[in-house]
Structure 1
Amino acid sequence: MARRRRGLDYSTLQRKGRLPVWLSITWRALFVVGLLGVAVLVHWIERDGLKDNYDGHVSFLDVVYFTMISVTTTGYGDIAPVSDRARLFDALIVTPIRIFAVLIFLGTAYSFVFRRTWDRWRMAYIQRHLHDHIIVAGFGTTGSEAVDELIARGTDPSCIVVIDGDMQALERAKALGCAVMEGDATRDKALHAVKIERARSMIVTGGSDDTSILITLTARHLAPHLGISVVVRNEDNETLAHQAGATTVINPVSFAGLLLAGSTHGPHISDYLMDLASDRGRVKLVERMVKPEECGRSLTEVSTGMGLRIYRGDAMYGFWEPEVATLVPGDVIVEIVPTSAREVHDA
């Protein structure tokens, strides 16, 4: 399956531009007042082109009154433009001001009332129905690559929940179809909000080893049986990550070293290792439970792929060991399977 980034292009420089709610409302209101001020000023200058059908005199208060009822499209007819210049101004200037004012008020109502209410309802609905999902804590380079690979392996993006404190990162995750939440994954409140107790698994890429380990500790405290995969960059912290409750600890530096070392023994070894680790090559590694019809058979008789190892309880056995001669219920098989022809073509 080909892996593609959907949504916006984030390769250009960007700067945070979100305004506080009060400031956003204030500048919109000032903009509308400014437009009305321009209309009042021009109407006052061109007041000779207006006719007051009540007393025949156009005062400043009459100009303000006429401007307001014109912009709001009320139009009682007691004051009306009679000169060509006044009518032309009303047609070409006041009408656009009226449209701008209506759009600004509607946009403000949508942004701060309807959209926020809708977003809160939608997020509450998603939270209530979160189940068997994958939580990704941190959407930096490693986290985004992990999400891309999950999607390439067939995971529904709506089953992935991303937690990060960077809104630009969350926008990228949202563009992929993931559910997102701005928050601190080291806090109980944030993990409770994404229903960690009902999650299938969790990927932790906190950006630094201490943050990742703290997130792992918090997650393990809240979900004792959750599978947690964490990335650490310092070899000394691998043991700490395991002690914090991580199910799988991955050191990208060590993995890169393994690939480099393997390449010195043959030009194709590192290629094959990358092929196994990715879902876009000709073969891939798969972990699955033993099927009922496979119980009693040998690991070498597995028909879905090439069996490499089994996990039985807390022990693991390679394909050359006698324990794999008879598969039993509960065994976990790690095997190499071919990627389908269509997937290879798409990749």
Structure 2
Amino acid sequence: MYSTLEQKYQRIQKELMAGALALAGVFLIGTLWYALVEGWSWQDAAYMTIITLATVGYGETRPLGDRGRLFTIALILMGVITIGYIVNRFTEAIIQGYFQEGIRLRQLRRAMESLSGHYIICGFSRTGRQIAIEFQAEGVCFVVIDSDVESVRKAQEQGYTIYQGDATLDETLIRVGVERAICIVAALPSDAENLYIVLSAKYLNPGIRAIARASTEEALQKLQRAGADAVISPYITGGKRMAAAALRPQVMDFVDGIISGTDRQLYMEEFLLDPKVCPVVGMTLGQARLRAQTGALILAVRRNDGTLIGGPTPDTVFMPADVLIAMGTPEQLRTLNQLLGPIGSKQLRRPKKI
């Protein structure tokens, strides 16, 4: 709720600053009057103004005529009104906890500025909430953007980092560190808003991976043309999965296990082959002996040009920037991660349970 806290804190700051400036203006008016109109010294004029504004009950520094006394009465009224306003704003700030919110705002600002290699979820509706649950289960760093107060409250209750704002605006995306993020998920109900998010994110960070939600086939195509790396239609995907569950129930049970984690034995993970640190680049699958050394099963290889090799054979050669998709126990995948990147080229997330 970074944006809301910021607005509240800025409002109380402006009100207190306005009160302080008004009080300074009243002091200046009083000093100038006693010095220039009454002909007093600057020291006496400032002293008279202070004791008048403070209403301490001291006598006049020098005798005043009717005109001077009328001005002093007006000066007292201006001072009482101004000081009363400041006290009122200050009391409200204490009661409403604005100063505590200011501390929290600074903490949130530092947290936003420190985000790097994180994920951004735009929209905290039913789709966004499920994505957040999955991200939290995977142990990845992410931030949520939503403009709805109720959605922000629900995200806070779950302990998520939340920014209240319009995700289609460049300013909002910059606030959540889109330049340093590795992935953004546009999960708003509106296809047009998701399109704006993808366009803005790709402009601000051309290397970011953009995932978008689409309601129709036309929106899906437009989002793809806008640069989305993956476009998911809940209706199309849901229909395909339901048909597959009816036709191939055992296969779908296995796939659902991969996606939702209904089993506690096997996991899936992907590994990027960095040629600078990965010793198997240039080897074949048979030469690398990954299965024998780790026990993990290599299910597929994604080439740098996007070509997918499913069920690679022992003759499949590992090329630079290939992505290996593997399945195994947590220990097997951890061993495979160490083997592929001996100096930690990829931090292994908590693998997906199947």
TM-score w.r.t. the length of structure 2 is 0.60
Q: Which position in structure 1 is the counterpart of 2:253?
A: 271
Q: Which position in structure 1 is the counterpart of 2:271?
A: 288
Q: Which position in structure 2 is the counterpart of 1:308?
A: 299
Contact 2:199 2:226 in 1 (8 A): yes
Q: Which position in structure 2 is the counterpart of 1:166?
A: 148
Q: Which position in structure 2 is the counterpart of 1:128?
A: 113
Structure 1, residues 34-58: CA drift from partner, whole Å, max 9, x if none?
xxxxxxxxxxxxxxxxxxxxxxxxx
* Pair 106,302 (structure 1): closer, same or farther in 2 beyond 3 Å: farther
Contact 1:138 1:162 in 2 (8 A): yes
Contact 1:309 1:316 in 2 (8 A): no
Distance 2:247 2:209 in 1: 35
Distance 1:314 1:215 in 2: 26
Q: Which position in structure 2 is the counterpart of 1:217?
A: 199
Following superposition, the deviation at residue 276 of structure 1 comes to: 1.7
Contact 2:152 2:164 in 1 (8 A): yes
Structure 1, residues 45-77: CA drift from partner, whole Å, max 9, x if none?
xxxxxxxxxxxxxxxxxxxxxxxxxxxxxxxxx
Distance 1:322 1:171 in 2: 51
Q: Among 95, 100, 103, which residue is 1:118 paired with?
A: 103
Distance 1:255 1:338 in 2: 28
Contact 1:310 1:331 in 2 (8 A): yes
Query: In structure 1, the residue corresponding to 2:249 is in which secondary structure?
Result: coil
Distance 1:337 1:316 in 2: 23
Q: Among 166, 173, 192, which residue is 1:184 paired with?
A: 166
* Pair 286,324 (structure 1): closer, same or farther in 2 beyond 3 Å: farther
- The yes-or-no answer on 1:333 pairing with 2:324 is yes
* Pair 301,175 (structure 1): closer, same or farther in 2 beyond 3 Å: farther
Following superposition, the deviation at residue 207 of structure 1 comes to: 1.1
Contact 2:182 2:207 in 1 (8 A): no
Structure 1 residues without counterparts, runs of 5 or longer: 1-19, 26-104
Contact 2:298 2:311 in 1 (8 A): no
Task: Return the structure number with greater helix share.
Answer: 2
Q: Which position in structure 2 is the counterpart of 1:207?
A: 189
Query: In structure 2, the residue corresponding to 1:221 is in which secondary structure?
Result: helix
- The yes-or-no answer on 1:298 pairing with 2:289 is no
Query: In structure 2, the residue corresponding to 1:286 is in which secondary structure?
Result: strand
Q: Which position in structure 1 is the counterpart of 2:126?
A: 141
Distance 1:315 1:118 in 2: 47
* Pair 324,258 (structure 1): closer, same or farther in 2 beyond 3 Å: farther
* Pair 294,166 (structure 1): closer, same or farther in 2 beyond 3 Å: same
- Equivalent position amino acid for 1:316 in 2: T
Contact 2:186 2:212 in 1 (8 A): yes
Contact 1:217 1:244 in 2 (8 A): yes
Query: In structure 2, the residue corresponding to 1:260 is in which secondary structure?
Result: helix
Structure 1, residues 182-224: CA drift from partner, whole Å, max 9, x if none?
1001011111111110112111101121211111111111111
- Equivalent position amino acid for 1:174 in 2: Q
- Equivalent position amino acid for 1:311 in 2: R
* Pair 266,312 (structure 1): closer, same or farther in 2 beyond 3 Å: closer
Query: In structure 2, the residue corresponding to 1:327 is in which secondary structure?
Result: coil
Contact 2:186 2:210 in 1 (8 A): yes
* Pair 243,143 (structure 1): closer, same or farther in 2 beyond 3 Å: same
Contact 1:277 1:285 in 2 (8 A): no
Distance 1:324 1:239 in 2: 37
- Equivalent position amino acid for 1:178 in 2: Y
Contact 1:191 1:219 in 2 (8 A): yes
Following superposition, the deviation at residue 340 of structure 1 comes to: 7.5
User: Could you tell which deviates more after superposition, 131-140 or 115-124?
Assistant: 115-124
- Equivalent position amino acid for 1:290 in 2: L
Structure 1, residues 98-135: CA drift from partner, whole Å, max 9, x if none?
xxxxxxx9675152541232133222222321222211
Q: Which position in structure 2 is the counterpart of 1:198?
A: 180
Contact 2:93 2:99 in 1 (8 A): no
> What is the percentage of aligned positions where both structures have the same residue?
24
Query: In structure 2, the residue corresponding to 1:325 is in which secondary structure?
Result: coil
* Pair 281,255 (structure 1): closer, same or farther in 2 beyond 3 Å: farther
